[in-house]
Amino acid sequence: MCNCKCACNCKCRRGKAPAKGSQRRRAGRSKRKSGKRNIRSIAPFRVRPVVKRYFFEAPEDIRLTGDSLVLHPGQFSDDAGEPASGFMDFGQDGYFNLYVNGVLQEGKLFKADADKLTIVATGQSILKGTPIILESVGFQVTRGK
């Protein structure tokens, strides 16, 4: 009960929770009056993926024992069929995927950067003619309408 004479039967609502949405409505009105921008008036951003793929075919059986396998960009061709001069590395704005014989590999089985692809030794073999595809995915953010 509140200390008013009406014992909370009036509109003062002391001691009771405010009506739902009443605070939100008041806060929203005050923001509009204060001149703050509405979220709809801000120009939208466009996020566009950028994908580069690099292709390699095992020239002979490759045993993944002992040391890790290191492949360099010059051993790969790009989407246009031209020899790759380097792998596109988007850093923190992207990631690499590795496919061996069309199967996506776990991230812990390889490491890629602009200069090399390292495949961890797992004791398995990659057979002659097996396709190895390195996919580099990044994101380009632009302000657009």
At residue 63, the pLDDT reads: 95
- Amino acid at position 81, single letter: G
Is 0.85 surpassed by the pTM of this model? no
Is residue 80 situated within a structural domain? yes
Q: 87 near 136, Cβ under 8 Å?
A: yes
Is residue 85 situated within a structural domain? yes
Is residue 26 situated within a structural domain? no
The structural domain count of the chain equals 1
Banded model confidence at residue 30, pLDDT cuts 50, 70, 90? very low
Domain residues for the domain of 66 are 45-143
Question: CATH code at 108?
Answer: 2.60.40
Q: 16 near 8, Cβ under 8 Å?
A: yes
Banded model confidence at residue 12, pLDDT cuts 50, 70, 90? low
Question: Mean pLDDT over residues 97-102, rounded?
Answer: 97
Is residue 72 situated within a structural domain? yes
Is residue 67 situated within a structural domain? yes
Q: 48 near 132, Cβ under 8 Å?
A: no
Is residue 128 situated within a structural domain? yes
